[in-house]
Chains A and B, each alone.
Chain A
Amino acid sequence: MPDAPGLELIRQEIERDLPGSVGATSYEHGCAAMIVDPEQILAVLGWLKEAPGQRYSFLASLHVADYLPAEPRFGVHYELLNFDRRERLRVKAMLADPGEDGLPEIDSVTAMFPTADAQERESYDFFGVVFRGHPNLTRILLPDDYVGWPQRRDFPIGGEPVTFTYNEHNRG
């Protein structure tokens, strides 16, 4: 893990090469995280992967979280790992919800990290985040004809109410 000063150093170096790309940093529970501009996600991840002294060359996980009611609502998380120093870095790109107009969009990183292929499909499957440039962005776990994005917080949880004797008695 880069510690808090190390995270600030990384931020300064990125800002020198890619001005305006990093919005904020946080260091909580021993975990370094950067919130970056979603439009520059490819440049930032490419820089972290290639820049000498960084070499965060392994994408350990890609996932999406729904921060409703916060705005911007969706966070695309990239967990990067440097094998040599065993350092992890979390990169977040926050996406606003376009509402009825469409789906939030971000560039796909499959060209840089082939492992992102299935994980981006899963994120699209459950959250409806569109990854621009993905080779085959279709549903991966749910049926192809499924309607809706079930892991969003405003999605109905589904199922059927079960009438237990206990509930019946309480309802009168």
Chain B
Amino acid sequence: MEIEKRDPLLAKQVTARDMLRGDLDGEDLERYVEERVVTTTFEKMLNLARANSIFPLTFGLACCAIEAPISIVTARYDLARFGAEALRASPRQADLIILSGRVSIKMAPVVRRLYDQMLEPKWAISMGACSSSGGMFANYAVVQGADKFMPIDMHIPGCPPRPEAVMYGFSKLQRKIMGSPDQGWRARYNAAGTEEWARGGPRSEPSAEAAAAYEEARELALA
């Protein structure tokens, strides 16, 4: 076919114009469509977009923070390759929280509140031994595992994990997002629909319309 021989950089433009002109028809058109068009469901497409445009929260708890939010966005490791280079300084703009380090019992309610402030869809990675199990800090001051007070989607072992391990965990999370975004276990942590409302203070109730619209959007998002 004549189109295949053209400059590949120009191929897309040219073939689209050719299609408009009606140069292809019949068998050629069928084959062209089969080769270049992918059909999928809306949910899959949505999850694909979500998994590849994650906005992590700029948030560090301890030494793991050197590896996770700091190292992996540098040029050497470059999380931008997976579409998550835009770290957000506000939980309301973020959809991934990486617990990078030990969670003290004083910090736990703060972390939980940050998680609650994030809007759906949202995910949490527990990074390192400390936030996953308390690690070496088996004492009076450190929470023995962050999943005691909030739902964790992915645990990354290590003390601390290398940036490669974090990226591996991140790609696992992406796979999870594309496969089954909500496994229905977040409700066990009372972590569904707990977002705070910015308008009028942290504990104010939204108006009925806003709440209904929000519920609708959330159900769509979680469907």
Interface residues of A (CB under 8 A from B): 141-143, 146, 148, 150, 155-160, 162
Contacts and interface: CB of A to CB of B under 8 A. Distances in A.
B145 to A, nearest CB: 8
Please report whether the interface of chain B is mostly helix, strand, loop or mixed according to DSSP.
loop
Contacts of B137: 159
B134, B137, B141, B144: residue with the most chain A Cβ atoms closer than 10 Å: B141
Interface string B137-169: 111111010000000000000000000000000
Interface residues of B, number: 11
A158 B133 contact: no
Interface string B115-148: 0000000000000000001100111111010000
Contacts of A159: 134, 137-140, 142, 144
Contact of B106 (A142, A148, A150, A156): A142
A157 B105 contact: no
Which applies to chain A's interface (DSSP): helix, strand, loop or mixed?
A: loop
A146 B109 CA distance: 14
A141 B140 CA distance: 13
Contact of B139 (A141, A146, A148, A157): A157
Contacts of A156: 140
Contacts of A157: 138-140
B106 A160 contact: no
14 contacts: A142-B106, A142-B141, A143-B105, A148-B140, A150-B141, A155-B140, A156-B140, A157-B138, A157-B139, A157-B140, A158-B138, A159-B134, A160-B134, A162-B133
- Give the interface centre of B105, B140, B144 by most chain A CB atoms within 10 Å: B140
B140 A160 contact: no
A160 B144 contact: yes
